[in-house]
Chains A and B, each alone.
Chain A
Amino acid sequence: MNVTSLLFILLAFLAALVYQRLPARLRNLWLLVVSAAFLATWSWQFILVLLAFGWINYALGLKIETSTAKKKGWVLFGVLINLVILFVFKYNHFYQPAVARLLEGMGVQGVSDGLKILLPVGLSFLVVQAIGYLVDVSNARQKAERDLVKFWVYTVYFPKLLSGPVERARQFLPRLENPLKLDRDLLERSLALILTGLFRKIFFADALFRMIPDNAFVAPQDYAGQHLVFWLLAYAFALYNDFAGYTSIVRGVSLWFGIELTNNFNLPYLSHNFTEFWNRWHISLSSWLRDFIFFPASRALMRRFPSRTNLLSLAVPPLATMLASGLWHGLSWNLLFWGALHGCFLLGERIWGLIKKPVPLNEQNRWQRALGLVVTFTLTVLAWLPFRMSLPVAAGYLAGMFKWVVPNKDLIVAYLKGTTDAISWSPLNLPNPLLVLMIGLAIGFDCLMNRDGNERDLRSFATAGQIVLTVLMALLILVSLFTDTTAPFVYQGF
């Protein structure tokens, strides 16, 4: 079930109504039932897989807490087993053909179909959550959870199941124990979040994704540079609004159950450097990577090489962190390259910080801030190329962005004067004006929502502003809902 569907929001609301009326001891059980039902809308097998996954980590947590001598070994085993689960399910396309060939070589027939493995929804998010939990238990930052139902809810809680946020057990489990009281304020906050989320997802993300032709990221050489530039920008804003919109919706829905989820995005494209960008983009994952890879690696290296200028201490933590981020997104060279690129950006900043004493953001002048914003934004957007497509195609796309085709001025004039019938836009060699408008609106919306560098709540506007914004958002969501998903009929000699 899609989280932007009316059915999801209605059913979640009904589930929350029941939840609010249940005695405290039954509430977690109810959350588990609702989450399982949500999982079943994808596949009932997912329920079994994820409950087993939850149970393994629950048992490992207890084992790590109680063991004294082999604590580290158990943590390592726990991390390894989670990675194996991720590998088995998420990266099955990597090993399956080889396994099928091997089995068929041994005379086992028809294994190709039997080996088909469905990736349980949100598994990548659950695995990092679980690893974080086990490490926290071993470091005594978190007590092992003894209530299996509660731990299962932590694992499969439906608002965060599909794409996070990545929740830390030490923050999430106490919220299950003491959920917030659903009063008017909380309800209003949830509604503001849901409306903003729907607007970002339906009006910006879905529309911007649709505005990019299917073939653009497959055969960029077929298109003029000006189109490629705008499509990449569209992709950047679509990706951001898609994920930020989704997070906003699920955070809003979760508040109906009195459970606060971590904010994941905070106007990332308004960042002035890459460190700031990673504090604003996919915050729950980047803070996890920071706490479980960046900091431990930095500490270990600093112990061995105490000098601030040591290259290993400078380079390894950001590179290792961002390579891990790339791998987490998928097992492919292009994602690894994307991670490495961001690792290099962060490394560049660290080296620059050694050469020139860093000036805090609030002490920088306007031009320094603007330059930082433009450079960070441009490099981030360009880095989406290897994130979205294979390396050769990304290279072709990048080269293609510099090959602009001059707009057909004669035809434009003829269309305007009416001497030629305006029957097609493509021959003009101009970008889609609606796409340009949408990118402008996406930037404008972020600027509007920006208050002192943080995304503001819809409710923080003056009442008149809230009404104008709500009306506009509702109308724009409405006009986005009727798009055909199938191509319009084009006569091709039936």
Chain B
Amino acid sequence: MTTPANSEKTAARPGKKKPSFLKVLCISLLIVFCFLAFLEAGARLLQRKNTQPIRSIGNFHSQFETKWFKLNDYVKANGGVDVLLMGNSMVNTGVDADVMAQAYEEKTGVNPRIFNFGVEGMDIHTNSELAALLNDEFHPGTILFFTEMREYGPGNDPSVPEGYQKAAWFQYQLGNPTFEGWLYDHSALMQYFLPYRNWSRADFPDTVLKDLYRYAQTTPSGYEPDRAYGRDLDVRTDPTDPAQKVLFDLYTNYSPDEANLEDFSTILDLEKSGVQVAVTEMPIYWTFFDYFGGETVHQEFLSTIEALAIERGAEFITPVDAELIPLVGRVDNHHLNFEGAPIYSELLGAELGDLCVEGTFCFSGEAAE
């Protein structure tokens, strides 16, 4: 066994002038820099021409990014946004902002610019930070926040707030600047590259296809239709079913958590910054409330939320009657599908339109007034 010849030391041939590798490195770095600058310019041109392939700001939550960029595009195309709908996945797949705006217009003659910023898995704490961020960035006239009982109980997935807190871009937006956050926020090239940053992950082929599909599915006003149909929705929830028992155990003796109510108040307090805040609840099917102890507990929850909203000067919108949404329009006992969402959006738009006509509550915002 012999040690192989070390070719590193014989890189230069005798009698031939050896090229300086330092010079090579400098030239190469210059080329890399120029190439990146060229790509950045190209990316900015793409952005300006409104050619909109999927983009990212390095957040772990691709749906949040979809909403962020769609909202940017929406504002660019419509000159602003009047109403931001916020909440979790129930809002994402449950409210078609265009249908809602049309229904509102039919009652009032005013066509508000509404965008659905409902994001899957969003907890109330992250939503409270996000609401402030969206308000600063896009200056909507109204924020309509859809809340629900789970947000105030135990069992919210901690990976969601942790994931947002870890994201450099999110921190940058919250006023904790880092180079990474700045780069993700300002570089168009990075934003076009970042959706593919996980190219070396085992799950990449699946996640990238899913993300591209969902990006394409989401309407310019932020609504993502869910094509699934629920099964056995009229069957009563079963505390002995292991899958449901978890939820029953989680929400036994339900009462809203103080810290979460505090976060909710933070959203309501945005009123002080000039934006109008309204709160309502999605049309959840009644069996859902079994986990929490039934309809009585649900009504107590709504009273708490309503009292807090009124106390902070926000508007509480009476939830649309859930019975008006047929079972065929539901994915499960709390999410709506592509058949249920337009029905609900029309009902909600009409209800809000009626409130406006009565003079109780109107959307504010440039186009909504």
Contact = CB atoms under 8 A, between A and B. Distances in A.
Interface of A: 184-185, 187-189, 191-193, 195, 206-208, 210-214, 216, 262-263, 266, 275, 278-280, 283, 286-287, 290, 294, 421-426, 432-434, 438, 451, 453-460, 463, 466-467, 470-471, 474-475, 478-480, 482-484, 486-489, 491-492, 494
Contacts of B61: 488-489
B209 A494 contact: no
Given A484-B60, A489-B61, 8 more contacts: A188-B22, A189-B11, A191-B25, A280-B4, A460-B11, A466-B28, A482-B58, A484-B198
Given A454-B4, A457-B8, A474-B28, A424 B206 contact: yes
A210 B197 contact: no
Given A191-B25, A489-B159, A471 B32 contact: yes
Instruction: Across the A-B interface, give the 9 residue pairs with the lowest CB-CB distance, nearest first.
Output: A425-B205, A207-B200, A470-B28, A188-B21, A482-B197, A213-B202, A457-B8, A457-B11, A494-B121
A279 B8 contact: no
A216 B202 CA distance: 10
Contact of A423 (B60, B150, B160, B209): B209
Among A193, A214, A266, A433, which residue has the most Cβ atoms of chain B within 10 A? Answer: A266
B29 interface: yes
Interface residues of B, number: 59
A228 B22 CA distance: 43
Nearest to A468: B28
Among B4, B8, B199, which residue has the most Cβ atoms of chain A within 10 A? Answer: B8
B194 interface: yes
B232 interface: no
Contacts of A275: 1
A433 B4 contact: no
Nearest to A265: B4
Task: Name the prevailing secondary structure of the A interface residues.
Answer: helix
B17 to A, nearest CB: 11
Contacts of B62: 488-489
A266 B6 CA distance: 9
B58 A455 contact: no
Contacts of A423: 209-210, 213
Nearest to A266: B4
A488 B5 CA distance: 46
A206 to B, nearest CB: 7
B204 A434 contact: yes
A286 B1 contact: yes
Given A210-B200, A494-B88, A184 B60 contact: no
A195 B206 CA distance: 32
A207 B3 CA distance: 30
Interface string B157-169: 1011001001000
Interface in B162-208: 163, 166, 193-194, 197-207
Given A455-B7, A494-B88, A474 B32 contact: yes
A188 B12 CA distance: 12
A477 to B, nearest CB: 10
Contacts of B24: 459, 463, 466-467, 470
Given A279-B4, A290-B1, A454-B4, A466 B19 contact: yes
Nearest to B227: A421
A424 B159 contact: no
Among B6, B163, B205, which residue has the most Cβ atoms of chain A within 10 A? Answer: B205
Contacts of A459: 11-12, 18-19, 21, 24
B194 A187 contact: no
A444 to B, nearest CB: 17
Nearest to B200: A207
Nearest to B27: A467
Given A426-B206, A489-B163, A491-B89, A454 B7 contact: yes
B23 to A, nearest CB: 9
B354 interface: no
B179 to A, nearest CB: 12
B35 interface: yes
B299 interface: no
Nearest to B32: A474
A376 to B, nearest CB: 15
Contacts of B204: 432, 434
